[in-house]
Amino acid sequence: MKPPAFRYHDPAELGEAVDLLARLGPDGKVLAGGQSLIPLLNMRLAAPAHLVDINRITELNTITAEPGGVRVGALARHRAVERSAEARAVQPLLAQALHHVAHPVIRNRGTVVGSIVHADPSAEMPAVLALLGGSVRLASSRGERDVPAAEFFVGPLETALQPGELAVSAFFPALPERSGTAFCEVSRRHGDYAMAGVAAAVTLDEDLRIRSARVACVSVGPVPVVIDVTAVCGARPASSVDWDAVADAVRERIDPEADIHATAEYRRHLTGVLAVRALRSAADAAGESEE
């Protein structure tokens, strides 16, 4: 399979790329790792007239871990973020989720920001960004703007990114002390997109009772579905939570669809199971962070 004809551009400067995208408008598409875009071109599901390859813009190849969170530049590969000890120390959910993204060869090339912009409802990174209340920084000839995750994901493969804009980075906030995270998913084969998946974040109070518990679910809606289950958990230690009630609360809030991989009922059931598994594991990690 071969892609349709396109004009190839490879600017070396961010300003050059942004000017080019402004000129090209809807005819221009950014090429990052190419792990989603190239298959789409080869299957003739997309036919942009111009590709703007950003791989020479080295200033976008950054992972900046600060106490407040981790900022991932548009050229940081999945694998580099997964392996970054600094990023893991500030926000462990990144590495926990990236372990489930495709296979190592794809993670060596694909980018975290590319995955967020691609906005596949089955992808892990959009769910992580949505759960943490992160944001995406977009640059254009008009300047920069930060778009919160809650506004960025609009629908399947659809985001708030406008023609002429380049996503320069994504910001993943840190969680307060006594917090833990986990990511659980089920796919037919390791590395496939998940039939269902759940990212969880739990924060405990000083007496190790649950202060906050939230999940973001993948593959069960057009965008990541963020659900706050703090009230269902109650201000109790994880060992006393009614986890069946938590699973039911999650199942009530999702509206999965059937496809060749799973029925809607199976996805709903599975998401409840995975939510409990991820929340319990996140609560354990939060407790261990105290020791």
> Least CB distance from residue 168 to ligand FAD, whole Å?
7
Q: Which range binds ligand FAD by CB under 6 A, 25-33, 204-212, 228-236, 278-286?
A: 25-33
Is 118 a residue that touches ligand FAD (CB under 6 A)?
yes
Structure tokens given for 204: 């405990």
Contact 171, 137 (CB under 8 A): yes
110: left (phi over 0), alpha (psi -120 to 50) or beta: beta
In angstroms, the CA 222 to CA 186 distance is 18
In angstroms, the CA 282 to CA 98 distance is 16
Is 185 a residue that touches ligand FAD (CB under 6 A)?
no
Is 271 a residue that touches ligand FAD (CB under 6 A)?
no
Contact 39, 120 (CB under 8 A): no
DSSP-derived letter for residue 26 is G
Q: Which range binds ligand FAD by CB under 6 A, 8-16, 117-125, 203-211, 222-230?
A: 117-125
**CB nearest ligand FAD: which residue?**
110
Provide the pairing of β-strand 143-148 with 135-140.
Answer: antiparallel
What is the identity of the amino acid at 7?
Answer: R
Is 34 a residue that touches ligand FAD (CB under 6 A)?
yes
Pick the binder of ligand FAD from 153, 171, 183, 193 (CB under 6 A).
193
Residues 216-245 that bind ligand FAD (CB under 6 A): none
Nearer to ligand FAD by C-beta: 135 or 179? 135
Provide the 3-class DSSP secondary structure of residue 17: helix
> Least CB distance from residue 227 to ligand FAD, whole Å?
20
Q: Which range binds ligand FAD by CB under 6 A, 63-71, 99-107, 206-214, 219-227?
A: 99-107
In angstroms, the CA 112 to CA 124 distance is 10
Residues that bind ligand FAD (CB under 6 A): 29-37, 39, 74, 101-102, 106, 110-111, 113-115, 117-118, 123-125, 161, 166-167, 193
